[in-house]
Structures are given as C-alpha cells and as structure tokens.
Structure 1
Amino acid sequence: MIVALTGTPGVGKTTVADILRARGYRIESVNELAEKYDCVIGEEDDSKIVDIEELAEKLEFPDNELVILEGHLAHLLNPDVAIVLRCNPLILKDRLQSKGWSEEKVLENVEAELIDAILVEAMDECSEVYEIDTTDLNPEEVARVVEMILKGEGDRYRPGKIDWISVVGDRIEELMRK
C-alpha cells in the first residue's frame, strides 16, 4: 500500500515522517526520489521543480509493502491513501517566516492552506483521503493519528471538518500582508 503524507510546506510532514521512520515505517521523500530517478527539471526559490508525471511512472514498490511517500507533491504519485496535514494559516505564516522564506513564498503557501489547495488536489487524485489539523498537536501526537489511520481507525479524520475561512475570516487581510 502506498500512502501519501502530504500538505502545505510547514505543516510538519518531515518531522512526522522522521518519527514514523524511527518506529519502523518505510518512508520515502518525494524530493529524494525525484533526484534518484532524475526527475528534477529545475529549481526556483531554492525549491526543486519535479516532473511529477515522469516520477509517478518510474516509481514501483512491492504490492505487499507499506510505503509512506512524504512531501507536498506526494498525493500526485498515485497513492492508495492520502493523509493531508493541515495547519491554521496564522500559525503557518509564522512558521514559514521563521524559516526565512521570502514574503511572496510565505503568502503563496498560506493562501494554498487557506483555500484547501492540497486537500482538493488529493481528493481529485485519491479515493481514500484523510486530513489532520496539526495546529495544536505535537509531532508525536500527529504520528499516532497517522498510525490510527493506517490501522483503519481514522474515520473521524475524513475531509470536511477543517474550515480555515471560518477560523481566520475576520483576520484574512492581516494574514495576507506582512
């Protein structure tokens, strides 16, 4: 089974993936796979541009093995299940700014989170999708929720419960500027 651990940059994918790896799960980074299979076609703002269609064609994993693909493009690699990590856009903005990202890149990713961009893409690409609000959870708690979903105990994490517009609606102008 192929599982995409995906979400907007800054929501905690890599940290949660590291915890799951330490617990014995096979984790594959989309960026590392793109390099390994020579599917990086450029770079922009210190981010790799990946030929996602070519990478999806080249990836093969044993049918009987659980593989978790980690990265904000993971849901585009034909997974069986997509787990979308989410974060309150106000908190996400602070996280991305603390990484030293350009204001343009911060706002682009905050907007993507605000409008559910990755969740919508995942729902278009995958028949089984879950979403986890990581805002008030520590990485260990998020990893436990991922494990619950993998065990078939994740119905409460089906999409539709997270609505950032209603949460930050009166602060959207503040959110979309410095």
Structure 2
Amino acid sequence: MIGITGTPGTGKSTAAEILRKKGWRVLNLNEYIEKKGLFEDFDELRESWVVDEEKLREHFLSIGEEGKNLIVEGHLSHFLPCEKVIVLRAHPKELERRLRKKGYDERKIRENIEAEALDVILVEALENCEEVHEIDTTSKTPEEVAELIEEIIRGRVALPPGKIDWSEEVF
C-alpha cells in the first residue's frame, strides 16, 4: 500500500486521478471512511469527519492482500500501514491561492497554511511510516507530480524529507 498525503490543496486528488487514468488502483480515503463508517463524529466547525487513526489503521491491516499495489490518497493516509508514504507540499502563498480557488473560508485557509508551515503532516508521517518521501508541488504541473509519484513507487527516485522549510513564511 502506498499513501499519498499532504495538507488540503497540495494536489493529492489531482495527482491521484492522473494515476487512476494511467491504470493504477487508487482509493480516495475520505470517501472510503465515509462509505465504511470509519469515523467517530462530524466536526461542524472544521466541516470534516473526526476519525480514530488507530481504528483506521487496524481496519487497513485487516484487508491484507487487497491492500497490495493500492494507492491510498488522503490527508490521513500516513496513518495506514503503508509501504511508502509520499507527502505532497506547497508553498503557503500557493496553498492559500489554491484553497481560495476551492472556496475555503478564511479560518480554514489559515489553519491549513499554518499546518503546512509547521510540517504537521510530514511529522506525523515520519512518526508512523518507515519510508517517507516529500514532493514540493508549488511549481509543478499535476502531470509532473504524478510522474514523480510513479518514479518513487517504482524505486527509481528517492525524495527524502527535510529539504522543505516554510516556517519563516507564516510566522
């Protein structure tokens, strides 16, 4: 199982859709969580499902062979028992632009920009996964991002974390 994760607006869904069209097995984790009822509650303020990460991980451990050669896309995929996790990143200013385009409100935009600047998802991925890669999507096309993901999956490219630091951009 391969995880594609990152702050909302970094390009996960777009890259995953390109990979799906190329023949990869791709699962949208948010849709799957909702369909299987793997959430605890709905957070009205954040307009998102509250998920028990341990319960989610246990569920995916139980699917066994079904998880082979599966790409799981979603901002919680780094909590799953993935062979590799690819964290998509974007510069806070670009992230703000993308989130505005998607219609996010100011509070949600600020929350996501801060999470990106503080490496929240990257840190969680490093705590939960053995092999973590990091792609800066800021100035890449979705096709370039999808191609890099394929190269990482095939073991042809390694993009270890630690080269991206936007902490000074927000604070």
TM-score by length of 2: 0.91
Q: What does residue 39 of structure 1 align with? A: 38
Paired amino acid for 1:14: S
Shift of 1:50: 2.1
Gaps of 5+ in 1: 174-178
1:75 aligned onto 2:78:
yes
Does the 8 Å contact 2:92/2:170 carry over to 1? no
Matched, 1:51 2:52: yes
1:3 is aligned to 2
% identity of equivalent residues: 46
Question: How many equivalent residue pairs?
Answer: 167
After superposition, the C-alpha distances for 1:119-172 in whole angstroms (9 at most, x for unaligned) are: 1110110010000000000000000000110111222x111111113xxx3x53
SS of residue in 1 equivalent to 2:161: coil
Q: Please give the secondary structure, in 2, of the residue aligned with 1:57.
A: helix
Structure 2: gaps of 5 or more residues: none
Amino acid at match of 1:160: G
Deviation sequence 1:41-75 (CA, Å, 0-9, x none): 22223322223222221221417831111000000
Tell me which residue corresponds to 2:17: 18
- Please tell me the residue identity of whatever aligns with 1:48: W
Match of 2:155 in 1: 152
Say yes or no: does 1:126 pair with 2:129: yes
User: Is the 2:114–2:170 Cα contact (8 Å) retained in structure 1?
Assistant: no
RMSD: 1.6
> Is 2:165 the counterpart of 1:163?
yes
Measure the CA separation in 1 of the matches of 2:53 and 2:59: 10
**1:64-89 CA distances to partner (integer Å, 9 max, x unpaired)?**
83111100000011211110000001
Q: Which runs of 4+ in 1 moved over 4 A?
A: none
* Aligned AA (1:74): S
Name 2:117's counterpart in structure 1. 114
